[in-house]
Each structure stands twice: as C-alpha cells, then as structure tokens.
Structure 1
Amino acid sequence: MPEPSSIITHHSSFVLGLIGYPLGHSLSPKIHAAALSACGLQGTYSLFSIPPEDKQGLKDLLARVRGGEITGLNVTIPHKQNVIELMDELTPTAQAIGAVNTIYMRENKLVGDNTDAPGFLADLKKFIGSRELGIGKRKSAIILGAGGSARAVVYALCNDGWNVTLVARRIEQAKKLADSFANLEVRVVEYSSFIFNLSSFALIVNTTPLGMTPNIETSPLPENIIFAENALIYDLVYNPRETKLVKDARAQGLYATTGLGMLIEQAALAFEIWTDHNPPRETLYQAVQP
C-alpha cells in the first residue's frame, strides 16, 4: 500500500481559470492545458466570464478559491483593478503596479499577484537578445496608452533602467499612472499634442487595444510614420498574429513583435506559482500556433 500522502499527490488535480469579460478569444486555456500536460499534472483551466458590474459574481468565484475548490485564477480586463479590494494581501509587484492578474491562497490568505511585468520583461529581453539598441544605445522607450497593461510595462521598464515617455489620449489617466510611481521617472505627453518624431526612442511599446481583431486595419500611430533606425517595436496586441503596427515596422526593415511572448511568459509564471512546476516555453508556443 502506498503512503496516504502519495495517493493524495497522485490524485490531486489543479483547478485553474481566468476571470474577465468578454473571454471569447482567450488563448489561456490552450496554454495552461499544454502546461499541465507537459508537467505531467492533472487539472483543468476554465473561463469565468463575469461582466464588469457583477460584483457578486466576482465575490462568489473568489470564495471558491478561499474554500480550496479552485487552486488559482488569472485576471484580465476589466477586473485587474476591481479585484484588489477583495484580496487579503497584495504582493509588492501587484501593489506597485496597482493591478492583479494572478490570484492564489497562501497561509489562509487570498493573495493578488502580478506576473505581467516580469512576463513582459522576460519576453522583451528575449526579443532584444544581443541586438544593439539604436540611438546611441540609450534605453529610451515610448509607451502608447495608460491602462492596466501600461502600468505593468512602465513598472517593468523603469525598474530595468529605461527612460520612459508615456503618450496617451486620456491625459489625466496617464498623469495618475505616472504619479503612482513617484519613485520612477516617467514623462507624460498628450497624444493629440505629441509630434510623432520617434527618432529619439530605441523602443516603442503599444499597450492600447488599437489594431486588435476585428479592427485589424487600425494602428496606434499615424499613417506613414517613420520610425527611428534600429528602433524596436513591441505591440502587446497578439490577435491578429501580425498587427498593422508590426507590419508597418517590418516594412521599414525593423524588428517588431506582438505580445504573444508576454502572454506565454506571464501564463508560465502564474502556472509556476500555482503548481511549483516551470512549464517548457516551446511547448506553450506550439499550443497556440494557428
């Protein structure tokens, strides 16, 4: 007879999922199913579609995490900030960013974490690789947008020694974002008054949903924009697989990438928090190939 503890380990099944609205296009179930399989674990990953106004639905779902029925949850738009008040504790990263994308229980406390920032940075470093940064190799970045994703990107870049300029249509939101990182230096510019001279930026990051399916002909930048020589373009949108912004940049011979790598990295980091297993990234990429 095996020891009781090994029976439990063998049969324990991870119940994972994603809270957001709407969730029709989510790739997370494929990524996490591949992670479970690659790590030889039993489990499920479900989509929990909760409209923004359904506060009770959110509370009920989190009660299932507290009760041990659900192992862990990812959080996406529009709940990354809504869930904060329902947590017992935030990790320093989630606290600093002011957004939660990963939830789990630790020592009887419901914890809100954020793997978006480390996920973005891990993928950015892979993307940059050994490429020389242009423009005198200065680490200067321009970030388009000021929503929840922008917060994670600003936090990640500033902590990695980049000079950050934030360009947004909603200037108050952008200022609020910059002010919340009082110890980090972030310049804020209003989109309408920004002269799109990108020559002094080594990295351009789009955190807006512009260019996302079904509006694939839109871009966050004006038509016929000239990028800096050697500029790197990182578009957080990953559906379609080649956004207009990425296409335009590649047409000028530049390196550009979508946010698929960030999606996979943040998922893998969350998966590791929940299961103590680090899934092979290549397997996760293969799982989401069209």
Structure 2
Amino acid sequence: MNVNGKTKITGIFGHPVGHTLSPAMHNAAFRSLGLNMCYIAFDVLPKDLPDAVKAVKSLNLLGVNITVPHKENVIPLLDDVNAEAKFMGAVNTVVNSEGKLTGYNTDGLGFMSSLAEAEISSDGKTILIIGGGGASRAISYYLSRGKATDLLLYDIDRSKVKKLADDLNISSDNKVSLLDDIENIGKPDIIINATPLGLNNEDPLPLDPGHLNSETVVYD
C-alpha cells in the first residue's frame, strides 16, 4: 500500500476493535481495484464518540463503519439517517458527502446475502435471535418480511426485545414472539447470536449446545 497525500481515508469506529478483520478485507479490496484508499480500525471509547464523529468531517474521511457499542449512540451525532436505519434504530455505515454525514444500516442486507450465498433459506423455519441491540433489529427487520414460520426474540433485558417485537408486528405480517426463558426454546432451525458474547475468549456461550442438532444453522 502506497499511502500519500492523495490517499482517501476510511475506517471503522468501535470498542474494542483489535479482533476486527475489516481493515484486512477492505484494504485488500482497495488494492485489487487500484483505489488510492486506506481503511483503519479506530478504537473509540463511548465518551469520545462525539469527537470521533466530528473528526470524520474535519479530517475529510470518506466515511466509516460503525460497530459495537456505537451503532445506536451515533445517530443523534449525524446530519441525516435513512429510513431503514431509523426503523432499526442503529447505523453501521456513515458516508461523508461534502461535509454532510448520513447514516445507513447494511447489517440486515449483509445477513440475508450471506444466507443466500450459503444456500440457506429462512422459508418455513423457526428462527431464534439472541440479543435486542442494533444487529438484532437489522436482522429481524428483514427476516420478519420473509416467509419464516416463527421468529423468536430473546434478550436478558426483556424491554429491548419487547419494543422490537411490537415494532415488527406493526410493520410486517409475520408473527414475532418473545421468549422469557431461553432454555425453553426447543430446537430452532436457525439460531442467531446478535450479542457481544464471543468477543472475549472467556465469554460464556449464549445458550446450551443441547438445543442444537446436526441440522441446526448457527450464525454468529
């Protein structure tokens, strides 16, 4: 990579970011496409998020991805947010267009694309989503508009998934349900971990592996 005075800077804001593969993937893509661009992982503490967002403008970054724990808190710091991201209540991509910062959410589309790439269909399936944050909202937004038989939501903070379920049931025809006890889920066809569990080696599993069988699809 030849970084010079004309190199355009992009990156990702999160905390922690030491585990992320985003720089490797994006910089490889830039090289392959012959683009004079550079992607950097910025470890941004929650208290520093407002200053980091201002820096996107002042340093003229093309834009940044947003990850845990900033996807929701970044919204009031932006100039505009598109309709899907507003519904999801979370932003994972910020584009700097002539000094105007606009937030988007591509998590749901990325999730659905990865399922299609793996030739996994959600049609007629019982799907469990663990977590009620930004990633969960994005994924459930698309799944609730599909042909899944049941969409089950669980979070240790029930209020998070209660609001999400209410929003989804208003805006879609699918039945979305809440789980009060994750141990009473039976054996869902697809289990999605949309929590931060797994970022650290010492983290516990989000649920008992006994709920899995040889046909279960697990998405982390």
- TM normalised by structure 1 equals 0.66
Report if the CA contact (8 A) 2:95-2:102 is conserved: yes
Report if the CA contact (8 A) 2:90-2:134 is conserved: yes
Within the candidate set 110, 114, 130, 2:105 is matched to 114
Quickly say closer, same or farther: Cα 1:62–1:188, change in 2 above 3 A: same
Quickly say closer, same or farther: Cα 1:169–1:48, change in 2 above 3 A: same
Written as runs of structure 1 = structure 2, the 5 A alignment for 1:28-43 is 28-43=22-37
Q: Which residue of 2 aligns with 1:172?
A: 159
Q: Per residue, is there more helix in 1 or in 2?
A: 1
Q: Which residue of 2 aligns with 1:149?
A: 135
Displacement over 4 Å in runs of 4+: none
AA aligned to 1:214 is: N
Distance in structure 2 (CA, Å) of the matches to 1:49 and 1:108: 23
Within the candidate set 221, 228, 231, 2:216 is matched to 231
Q: Which residue of 2 aligns with 1:207?
A: 194
| 2:190 is equivalent to residue 196 of structure 1 | no
Within the candidate set 77, 93, 97, 2:84 is matched to 93
| Secondary structure in 2 matching 1:213 | coil
Coordinate RMSD, CA, aligned:
2.3
Report if the CA contact (8 A) 2:94-2:103 is conserved: yes
Quickly say closer, same or farther: Cα 1:14–1:160, change in 2 above 3 A: farther
Q: Which residue of 2 aligns with 1:284?
A: none
Written as runs of structure 1 = structure 2, the 5 A alignment for 1:21-100 is 21-52=15-46, 54=47, 57-67=48-58, 69-100=60-91
Higher relative contact order (CA 8 A, sep 6+): 1
Structure 1: tracts of 5 or more residues without a match:
1-10, 237-290
> Could you tell me how far 1:13 is from its partner in structure 2?
2.6
AA aligned to 1:45 is: Y
Distance in structure 1 (CA, Å) of the matches to 2:35 and 2:212: 48
Written as runs of structure 1 = structure 2, the 5 A alignment for 1:129-144 is 129=119, 138-144=124-130
Identity of aligned residues (%): 33
| Secondary structure in 1 matching 2:144 | helix
Distance in structure 1 (CA, Å) of the matches to 2:207 and 2:199: 14
> Could you tell me how far 1:49 is from its partner in structure 2?
1.7
> Could you tell me how far 1:109 is from its partner in structure 2?
2.6
Quickly say closer, same or farther: Cα 1:112–1:203, change in 2 above 3 A: same
Distance in structure 1 (CA, Å) of the matches to 2:197 and 2:87: 26
Report if the CA contact (8 A) 2:115-2:121 is conserved: no
AA aligned to 1:50 is: V
> Could you tell me how far 1:230 is from its partner in structure 2?
3.2
- In the alignment of these two chains, the number of paired residues is 212
